[in-house]
Structure 1
Amino acid sequence: MNFLTFILLLAVGVCEAVLSQKLSCPHELKHQSLQRVWCRQTSAECCTGFAFNQNTQMLDGGKLKVTQHSHSFTVVMMEPDHSGVYWCGVLTKNNTIIKLAEGYFYSSSGAFIWSLARWILLPLVLVVTLSTYVCLSKKKKFHYEKAEEMFVDAAAE
């Protein structure tokens, strides 16, 4: 059964890696009270996206999850609509974005395929694992009975 646990944990990890992508955005203490920014780069110096406060936990209808920490915040993009460079930062009082980090995010077309395939593959893995376990248990019992039979035959002679 340890094999089954390993397979399920691996599948969950692969699913998480395929479906979500994240970016950690460290900031200085003096930026703690400023609005946070999440956006997709549209040109070398511009981006479009969201400005949000320190209490925000979700954006874009749940596609973005935000985790706030004392010296950083992390944005997890659950299903990227577009591939590209994304920024996180803070918005100054004169509406200038201070970029804290950037990362390349991949479109979720592969994630959609995986989200369908995993519902087929995971039960299949379960069936194969259980079948193997049952088959090996029967084979082990058969070998035990054969060995016992040979021992009885040898003792009778």
Structure 2
Amino acid sequence: MRSLILILLFAVGSCKAVYWQKLTCPYELHHGSLQRVWCRQSSTDCCIGLKFSKSAHLADGGKLKVTQGSDSFTVAVLEPSHGEGVHWCGVLSKNGTIIKLAEGYIHSSSGSYIWSLARWLLLPLLPMVTIFTNVYLRKDSGAL
């Protein structure tokens, strides 16, 4: 019983719920050296976002993880900094226009936020459950 409580205490104190949403962006070989673009669609032909280099592994303060493939790159999003909605990945052409490679709906991940609050509510309850269980078990064993 005590080991179960210790495991639960450890889990509540150290677990972090993380949900990465991914979008794969295939490109033609002649686009391989161009800067990458990640943005949220603001109108039919426009978007708001950021650009990053081919060699970048993290972007937007670590909220984006970029994995480079031979003919594509994948953007994994923890939390969209420009808000939820339709997001584009693309490359920035020589004349400064965005060549859209893929799009997908990215939503805010409230699950990790809910878990981060819930674990702090559960953390004080676990010692109280431990104490109550020990007192209750001792009371029952003394009655026999």
Q: TM-score, normalised by structure 2?
A: 0.67
Which AA in structure 2 matches 1:42? Answer: S
Find the counterpart in structure 2 of residue 39 from structure 1.
Answer: 39
What CA deviation, in whole Å up to 9, does each residue of 1:23-52 have, x standing for no partner? Answer: 000111111011111001111110011111
Please report the RMSD computed on the Cα atoms of aligned residues, expressed in angstroms.
2.5
Bigger Rg, which one? 1
Match of 1:56, SS state, is coil
What CA deviation, in whole Å up to 9, does each residue of 1:60-82 have, x standing for no partner? Answer: 11011111111000001112242
- Say if 1:43 and 1:117 are closer, same or farther in 2 by CA, change over 3 A: same
What runs of 5+ residues in structure 1 fail to find an aligned partner? 1-7, 125-157
Find the counterpart in structure 2 of residue 30 from structure 1.
Answer: 30
Match of 1:66, SS state, is strand
Q: Report how far residue 109 of structure 1 moved.
A: 2.8
- What is the 5 A alignment of 1:24-103? 24-81=24-81, 82-103=83-104
What CA deviation, in whole Å up to 9, does each residue of 1:2-41 have, x standing for no partner? Answer: xxxxxx9xxx9xx44xx21110001111110111110011
Q: Distance in 2 between matches of 1:46 and 1:88?
A: 12
Q: Distance in 2 between matches of 1:97 and 1:70?
A: 20
Q: Report how far residue 118 of structure 1 moved.
A: 6.1
Q: Distance in 2 between matches of 1:114 and 1:42?
A: 31
Q: TM-score, normalised by structure 1?
A: 0.62
Q: Distance in 1 between matches of 2:29 and 2:77?
A: 25
Match of 1:73, SS state, is strand
Q: Report how far residue 117 of structure 1 moved.
A: 3.6
Q: Distance in 2 between matches of 1:34 and 1:43?
A: 24
Runs of 4+ in 1 over 2 A off after TM superposition: 108-111, 114-121
Q: Report how far residue 114 of structure 1 moved.
A: 2.9
- Say if 1:118 and 1:28 are closer, same or farther in 2 by CA, change over 3 A: farther
Q: Distance in 2 between matches of 1:99 and 1:70?
A: 18
Find the counterpart in structure 2 of residue 113 from structure 1.
Answer: 114
- Say if 1:35 and 1:96 are closer, same or farther in 2 by CA, change over 3 A: same
Whichever structure has more helix as a proportion of its residues is 1
Higher relative contact order (CA 8 A, sep 6+): 2
Q: Distance in 2 between matches of 1:59 and 1:94?
A: 23
